[in-house]
Amino acid sequence: MTLAITIYDALTTANVPPDKAKAVVHAWEAEVENLASKADLKQVETHLTQSITALGVELRSSIREMQAALREQGAELRAELKEQRADHRSSIRILQWGNGVTFLCVAAPFLRSVFGV
């Protein structure tokens, strides 16, 4: 590393003992290893952009699938409600007929006895 030698020379020129100058250079090198370069950051940015884009595509696809499933379930529910409504109307007609027959069976003898017909 050229910069490390330059730092060492600058420290020794400033009357820092050589062993302490070496320690400073080693500490500086250890810290520099943990720093990200512009290229590293650009690579991370590119990777994150690609990941976000892929997740967006996947999310939109999932949303479309859920919308299709909901539309299908809605159509099934409407068909089932229509069928139940028809069944319910049939039950109401049967109940009305039953009430009519019951009325005739009860009312006819009652009217006959009251009016003597």
**Domain extent listing, the chain:** 1-35
Helix H or strand E encompassing 15: none
Question: Are the CB atoms for 7 and 28 separated by under 8 Å?
Answer: yes
Is the pLDDT higher at 19 or at 31? 19
CA-wise closest residue to 32 among 12, 52, 2 = 2
Per-residue DSSP letters for 70-111? HHHHHHHHHHHHHHHHHHHHHHHHHHHHHHHHHHHHHHHHHH
pLDDT at 117: 61
Is the pLDDT higher at 104 or at 39? 39
pLDDT at 1 over 80: no
Mean pLDDT of the 61-84 span: 95
pLDDT at 71 over 90: yes
Both tokens assigned to 73: 């379930």
pLDDT at 50 over 90: yes
